[in-house]
Amino acid sequence: GATRFGEVSPPPPGRTIHGVATAMFPALVPGNTACRVARVAGSASGGWDVCATFRACCFDQRMRRPFSSKAPPPFLDPFAPPPDASTFPEYTPKDYFKFQLVHQSSKSNARVGRIHTPHGTIETPGFVPVGTNGALKAVPHSVLGNGADLNLMFANTYHLMLQPGVDVVAQAGGLHKFMGRNEPVITDSGGFQVFSLGAADATTDAMDELKKRTKSKHKDGQGLIKRITENGVTFKSYRDGSVYTLTPESSVEAQKKLGADIIIPLDELPPYGIDFDTLKQSLFRSHRWEARSLRTHLLNPARQAMYGVVHGGVNDELRKLSAEYLGSLPFDGYAIGGSLGKNSEELFQMLNKVVPLLPRGKPNHVLGIGDELSIRACVPLGIDTFDSTFPTRSARHGSLLTKTRGRINVRNSKFKTLFEPPCYECVCSLCRNHSVAYLHHLDKAREPNAWTLATEHNLHYMGTMMRELREAIARNEV
């Protein structure tokens, strides 16, 4: 297989390398310029060196026909641009999905809005808690509507694909019925988790990154990714070692079976700190994959909305290219993903330039960012929704977000005899019925109820913060 542009492994028996004529691959050759192999020479190691200014394609001589649209050639030029916007239908408003602008702040780009979906309305700006396996950790998802006022919940396609399987969820009537939730749900493509399965890289892993992929405890030094081609990603399950292939088409088909209100196309997730050419190759691959995802989605919208995912790392040129290209396609909204920088400052600088390039009449979302500092800084830039495991994960580690005391860790010994509620302004079960000392005791005793009470509290805190931000925007104070 291809290792990098211009290098392919020796062809297997019965296969040779051929020039690719535009008559055979018109959709894959930019400008319909004929492609041919300029020079092929065996190296001392038995490898094949293909001149990098030409494209080559390996295919079985007995099957001399173009690859189907569902299986692009594995040796496509990594700099090949995605299909032109003119090859897609124009965007038409949906009766089941609509963004409503309620108020635009006169002080900043902050805005109050409502996203109308088949399962209810999402108030924006809004925080989106993550229920990885279709469930929030330690609490029932009903807590989101009982005082927390959090309308949208995130679920992960990758994990649901491995357990219980998307077909099981489909047999149950879709994710909403399977979960018993009649409110909006968003699912991702599975790409973030899959690309986190790759082998360790000493260079990129050593770099600081704001949204860094954590090492999976289920993989060895070689990783669980078997191969990445233009067709998609083949990987091994961390559960039982079985092999899966995730393509743009299969990711969308899986999300159709899950039935979320908002779905995400498959994209590639490069690490922070890679060189410009490698980042650009990854960007073009993501664009090609997202275009294929969108075409699959448009064949059967199924009352679902699809968000395009803007890439480009912290490179201004590539982020602009991505925002403008995806903004020209008939997506229902836009997510900002990929590497978001090494720190908050890089994130804010990037968003300040990207958000104005996105269609204002559609909602936007920042993937994987949801701490309080980032939210308060990003809302004035015009961001509508944020997802993160931050408040629920923090709660399980003893960290409470409070208005009364700020952020505290109840595991600290000084809270052993604090017989007061964590937050006087909060109406969650913990703050109405228990003291910090009681939660300290439960955590020390490793009682599961400690995680339940703390998680519910942090979700209430996030919901209250977002509601207060919406009110402040409406008064033009943000």
Which residues have a catalytic role annotated?
A: 188, 387
| Cα angle 469, 472, 478; round to 5 | 90
Task: Please give the structure tokens belonging to residue 450.
Answer: 């400690």
Q: How far apart are CA 148 and CA 461, in angstroms?
A: 7
How many secondary structure helices (H) and strands (E) does the chain include?
Answer: 14, 21
Q: How far apart are CA 376 and CA 381, in angstroms?
A: 10
What length does the chain have? 478
Pairing relation of β-strands 385-388 and 399-402?
A: unpaired
Residue type, 329: L
Cβ burial, residue 331 (10 Å; 0-12/13-18/19+): buried
Task: Please give the structure tokens belonging to residue 101.
Answer: 């602008």
Q: Residue 315: helix, strand or coil by DSSP? A: coil
Which long-range contacts link 279-284 to residues 24+ away (Cβ below 8 Å)? 279/312, 279/313, 279/315, 279/318, 280/79, 280/318, 281/5, 281/78, 281/79, 282/311, 283/311, 283/312, 283/318, 283/321, 283/322, 284/78, 284/79, 284/80, 284/81, 284/82
Contact in structure between 462 and 148 (CB atoms under 8 Å): yes
Q: How far apart are CA 284 and CA 325, in angstroms?
A: 11
